Amino acid sequence: MSEYKLQGSMTATRRRGRRGVSPALRGERSVLRGIGVALLWLVVAISIAALVWMVAQAFRDTRDILDDPWHVPSSLDFGNFVRAWTVGDFAVATWNSLMTTVVSSVLTVAIAAPCSYYLSRVDNRLTRGLSLYFILGLGIPAQVILIPLFVMLNKVYLTDSIIGLNLVYIGVSMPFTVFLLTAFFRSLPLEMEEAAALDGTTAFGTFWRITLPLAKGGILTAFILQVISHWNETLLALTLLQSTEKYTLPVALISFVQQQTYSGADWGGLFAGLVIVVLPMLIIYVWLGRRLTEGLTLGMGK
């Protein structure tokens, strides 16, 4: 409702503003603006069309796709998915990706949350130093740690292993998650914790029973952001996994693409693979996008 009011007052402002502007400028601006708006909607339309098109192609035969890529499928043919699922090893890869994503994201948040809580509530030289130490990792690109990680994990037999990959994802996600959650915990009101402390709750009890429930929104946000980044992570997985039965989806997709240089293009299967990679993200975005917003504004709005 306040949104409407805001927009209303803004349009009013604009009208008034226009009157004050010289006529020449006024004309130019509205034309430019009109073009901009039209272009923007064009981009939006193309984006949606591209997504729909991609999903549609996944239900068509490779020969049909190549003959006429502009068509929509005449019938729902799951052949591509079946082929990608069985021949392209996407079944195993999807399972691996799902496991890795869920396990590493849950653990990342579970490990980062207490740390962030501590860093946000205790303010001394040590915690300030630690916060800085965690920020440092945000600027380090993955290719820097690629080779040493491979060497290290190889020594302890954790290359080509889903467990190893999970560990790496947790470690690599620490800076961002700690950071996001520290900022979030800082924004939560202290009064409830103080009240709980007066009632004799232990420090851990306050964290567990007061702060965590209050921070649900922020923690959900952090979790979803990790899910998205772990689901799409490619470089580390490509380096650390070697055998087909360990591949995650992006790695399986790359190997599927590369097989085609030898076996001829199977665009139908490839489109099915792309849909398997993209669709979960779309579902999360459509389903949780708004809930996330609400969760965050509830926590941050104060």
- Least distance (Å) between residue 234 CB and another protein: 4
Which part of the chain contacts another protein (CB under 8 A), choosing from 72-80, 87-95, 98-106, 119-127? Answer: 119-127
23 touches another protein by CB under 8 A: no
Contact call for residue 95 and another protein (CB under 8 A) = no
- Residues between 167 and 196 with contacts to another protein, criterion CB under 8 A: 167-168, 170-172, 174-176, 178-180, 183-184, 186-187, 190, 193-194
- Contact between 212 and another protein per CB under 8 A: no
Give the Å distances, CA to CA, from 48 to 54, 61, 139, 217, 260: 10, 22, 33, 29, 28
Residue 88 C-beta: closest distance to another protein, Å: 13
Cβ partners under 8 Å of residue 301, min gap 6: none
Considering Cα of 14, then 17, then 23, then 29, what sign does the dihedral take? negative
Alpha-carbon span 197 to 208, nearest angstrom: 12
Binds another protein (CB under 8 A): choice among 31, 72, 87, 138: 138
Q: Does 31 bind another protein (CB under 8 A)?
A: no
In whole angstroms, how far apart are CA 24 and each of 38, 160, 183?
22, 67, 47
Among 55, 99, 106, 135, binds another protein (CB under 8 A): 135
282 binds another protein (CB under 8 A): yes
79/171 with CB nearer another protein: 171
For position 106 contacting another protein by CB under 8 A, the verdict is no
Span 232-261, contacts to another protein by CB under 8 A: 232, 234-235, 238-239, 250, 253-254, 257-258, 260-261
Question: Using the rule CB under 8 A, is 269 a contact of another protein?
Answer: no
**Residue 33 burial (10 A CB sphere; 0-12, 13-18, 19+):** exposed
Give the one residue of 92, 99, 106, 197 binding another protein; rule: CB under 8 A: 197
223 binds another protein (CB under 8 A): no
27 near another protein (CB under 8 A): no
**Number of Cβ atoms within 10 Å of the Cβ of 17:** 11
Encoding tokens for residue 120? 């946000």
Binding status of residue 134 toward another protein by CB under 8 A:
yes
72 near another protein (CB under 8 A): no
How many chain residues touch another protein (CB under 8 A)?
A: 123
Q: Is 98 in the site for another protein (CB under 8 A)?
A: no
> In this structure, are residues 130 and 119 in contact, taking their beta carbons and an 8 Å threshold?
yes
| Cβ neighbours of residue 84 closer than 8 Å, sequence gap 6 or more | 90, 256, 269, 270, 272, 273, 276
> Is residue 49 involved in binding another protein (CB under 8 A)?
no
d(C-alpha 151, C-alpha 157), whole Å: 10
**Minimum CB–partner distance for residue 95 and another protein (Å):** 18
Q: Residue ranges of the alpha helices (H) in 21-139?
A: 23-57, 62-67, 79-86, 90-121, 125-136
H or E element that contains 195: helix 191-198
- We find the least distance from the C-beta atom of residue 214 to another protein, in angstroms, to be 13
